[in-house]
């Protein structure tokens, strides 16, 4: 698979049911202005994932390509397990006084720090250090694929979304990505 496809799939799958998806739903229901929220998600993701991918490149200098391959395989398997653990989102009232773009940017950037999608981006940056731009582009597209629909349909109840089933299917897809990475696909 191409670097772009792996990056898109990794983050889009990891994001399903994640706290930043819940944050997107919260922001959409609070502000009801999808364009500034989507713009903030885009900008926060690019900044956050560029830093994470750069960190991955720094790590790659100390690891061999074979070790990086197995780090990616293990990270995909761990991601599959992590996805099965539901995220919770604390309602932060300090952001509610800000406009939709500023509040969304700050909240999204902070929520991504140490998140599984940021860790996945770091590992992808380490593995594909020669295609860093495609990692950042792909992980940003993956983030938008997972969150833009949530923002656009934010007026619907989150209780109607079968997150348990979606998490299980997503975990299986991450195991398949781990197998593909293990066989060099």
For 108-118, the pLDDT digits (tens) are 888 787 778 88
**17 DSSP assignment:** T
Cα–Cα distance for residue pair 127/53, rounded to 1 Å: 10
In contact, 121 and 11? CB cutoff 8 Å: yes
Higher per-residue confidence, 58 vs 90: 58
Say if residue 65's pLDDT is above 90. Answer: no
pLDDT reported for residue 162: 61
In contact, 185 and 1? CB cutoff 8 Å: yes
pLDDT reported for residue 39: 96
Say if residue 87's pLDDT is above 60. Answer: no
Say if residue 104's pLDDT is above 70. Answer: yes
pLDDT reported for residue 158: 47
| 125-27-155-33 Cα dihedral, nearest 10 degrees | -100
| pLDDT confidence band for 149 (50 / 70 / 90) | very high
**Given the structure tokens 């490149």, which residue do they identify?**
57
Angle formed at CA 166 by CA 154 and CA 13, multiple of 5 degrees: 85
Cα–Cα distance for residue pair 176/173, rounded to 1 Å: 5
Say if residue 71's pLDDT is above 90. Answer: no
Average pLDDT of span 78-98? 60
Q: Is residue 141 classed exposed, middle or buried when 0-12, 13-18 and 19+ CB atoms within 10 A define those classes?
A: middle
| pLDDT confidence band for 166 (50 / 70 / 90) | low
3-state secondary structure at position 133? helix
| pLDDT confidence band for 1 (50 / 70 / 90) | low
């Amino acid at each position: 698979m191409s670097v772009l496809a792996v990056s898109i799939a990794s983050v889009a799958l990891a994001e399903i049911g994640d706290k930043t998806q819940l944050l997107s739903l919260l922001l959409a229901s609070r502000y009801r202005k999808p364009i500034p929220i989507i713009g903030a998600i885009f900008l926060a993701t690019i900044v956050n994932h560029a830093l994470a991918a750069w960190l991955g490149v720094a790590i790659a200098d100390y690891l061999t390509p074979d070790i990086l391959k197995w780090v990616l395989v293990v990270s995909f398997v761990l991601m599959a397990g992590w996805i099965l653990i539901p995220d919770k989102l604390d309602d932060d009232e300090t952001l509610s006084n800000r406009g939709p773009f500023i509040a969304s940017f700050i909240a999204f950037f902070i929520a991504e720090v140490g998140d599984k999608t940021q860790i996945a981006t770091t590992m992808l940056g380490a593995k594909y250090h020669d295609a860093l731009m495609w990692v950042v582009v792909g992980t940003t597209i993956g983030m938008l694929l997972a969150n833009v629909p949530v923002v656009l349909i934010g007026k619907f109840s989150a209780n109607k979304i079968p997150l348990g089933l979606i998490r299980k299917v997503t975990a299986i897809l991450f195991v398949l990505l781990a197998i593909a990475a293990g066989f060099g696909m």
